[in-house]
Structure 1
């Protein structure tokens, strides 16, 4: 078995819990975050690509994130990195929703592709949801992309008042309450055909699969568009303060 190991180490400290005032209308939080250096100075981004909600007809893919930022979508602030996607933004082919989201790569810059049936695969990320649209207030924080689409999506649903998940696009019940603005640690572990998701250290999601050609994604994937009744300028937003991935 190929025993490759990559470690994308922790960047930044936790974001203060007070970010969350006035989120659901996409209002600025009380006490605007101070600007910081580019995201690559805050998080380990060498082994990631970024999809932005800009471009025509398809979303923009940025393949080198060293020193890169794109205000207001992808910028450093305080000790975190802001990811923002507007409801009316450009989408990737095959998706109805826009995103500002990282896509996992191998250390040699090829696209990561691993299997539930071999090895152990973990992503450990800490994010705070800082804005959501009004009509369909759902923002994906982290996911495992499967063989032919989204296998696992972990997302904030303001109407449910917490964190929910989807398995192969089928929505599942809320697994934990969540207050917007509070940093949430999400750890996804895949081994021996099983996926476990820990939220702030407690296992909340557990399922089995035999999917291959998988990879991790994380950032802000806003699960709405104008057809859902949201204004095109409305957006979903997260602030990420930790990002680590290990494969063995």
Structure 2
């Protein structure tokens, strides 16, 4: 079950891309880009969709908020921070790449962490890759977490950033962790999840799609 009253939604229409408010989302919002039914949520983003300011790729993606709709930002030292999901990738663009979960930094150009599904045509399966930045201003460091994940196969992942600054990603029983540079400690962070397509060339039929069966952001008190 996904509690939609604690998220807003970006969809790939309008310039810049449109944000659906927490109140509208929890009130039953449905579209081609987002469908919620029977306890699951389906995300779809075509490669020719519009993007947010500062990005070149389209997305249909949730972003943490409070129940009143205000943006929820947090510092990792204040709580034990988890994003857990049970989901599947249903469609990939020609690049084979899409983002299924993130830790972003408020008003920063690049996220701390992107969890990417990378499909390989040769094997008809994908890898789950964590791309993280050890410190603000550094380049992405890719780490393969799980391999051989087919389209429409269930993926269970957990992103954990503990109060000491240790980041871990677990996917389908495989786990990786690393300490972060203390430069992240002062940053305001937030979770995102859905489908963020890493492609912006092609027809509308080329797209990324995911289905989430469960999604929960938690900030457990110390």
Name the TM-score class by shorter chain.
0.7 to 0.9
Gaps of 5+ in 2: 134-138
User: 1:77 Cα deviation (Å)?
Assistant: 4.7
Query: Is the 1:194–1:209 Cα contact (8 Å) retained in structure 2?
Result: no
SS of residue in 1 equivalent to 2:98? strand
Given the alignment of the two structures, is residue 138 of structure 1 paired with residue 97 of structure 2, yes or no?
yes
- What TM-score comes out, normalization by structure 2 length? 0.84
User: 1:167 Cα deviation (Å)?
Assistant: 1.6
Choose from 156, 163, 166 the match for 2:117.
Answer: 156
Gaps of 5+ in 1: 1-10, 12-42
Taking the TM superposition and a 5 Å limit, the aligned residue runs for 1:8-87 are 11=1, 43-55=2-14, 57-63=15-21, 64=23, 65-87=25-47
SS of residue in 1 equivalent to 2:93? coil
- What TM-score comes out, normalization by structure 1 length? 0.75
User: CA-atom RMSD, angstroms?
Assistant: 1.9
Q: 1:84 to 1:209 in 2, by over 3 A?
A: farther
SS of residue in 2 equivalent to 1:109? coil
Q: 1:185 to 1:61 in 2, by over 3 A?
A: same
Given the alignment of the two structures, is residue 216 of structure 1 paired with residue 191 of structure 2, yes or no?
yes
Q: Distance in 2 between matches of 1:76 and 1:109?
A: 19
Q: Distance in 1 between matches of 2:143 and 2:160?
A: 20
Query: Is the 1:189–1:195 Cα contact (8 Å) retained in structure 2?
Result: yes
- Which residue of structure 2 aligns with residue 206 of structure 1? 178
Query: Is the 1:128–1:182 Cα contact (8 Å) retained in structure 2?
Result: yes
User: 1:79 Cα deviation (Å)?
Assistant: 4.2
Query: Is the 1:81–1:240 Cα contact (8 Å) retained in structure 2?
Result: yes
- Which residue of structure 2 aligns with residue 186 of structure 1? 157
Choose from 146, 149, 160 the match for 1:176.
Answer: 146
1:12-47 deviations in Å (ceiling 9; x for gaps): xxxxxxxxxxxxxxxxxxxxxxxxxxxxxxx21101
